[in-house]
Amino acid sequence: MTDNLGSTTLKKRRRSADPMMTYDTLPQPLRSWLAEAALPWSPKSCRRIWDRARVKGLSVGDAIAVLTEAERKTLSRDKHSV
């Protein structure tokens, strides 16, 4: 079994903070989305997208849609994506 970065051409990044501690501070809908994400998003980057969407007045569902679109765009840049 390969991990979720095994067959990607996307850059891998090191994290400076403890990602699990950051994950624990996320709102429940965001944690649920992150747990099902196709990519190994950092909790910090997800929080940034989430906060930006919520500040614009988007609902929880719309903020999730923004995250899903960001993931779709990132996957489309992968040379191995279908």
How does pLDDT run across 18-65, given as a tens digit for each residue?
778 888 999 999 999 999 999 888 888 999 999 999 999 999 999 999
Check residue 71 and give its pLDDT.
94
The DSSP secondary-structure symbol of 26 reads: S
Note the pLDDT tens digit of each residue in 2-22.
555 566 676 676 656 677 888
DSSP state of 82: -
Two structure tokens written together for 39? 């990519």
**Pairwise CA distance, residues 25 & 8, whole Å:** 29
Give residue 2's pLDDT. 55
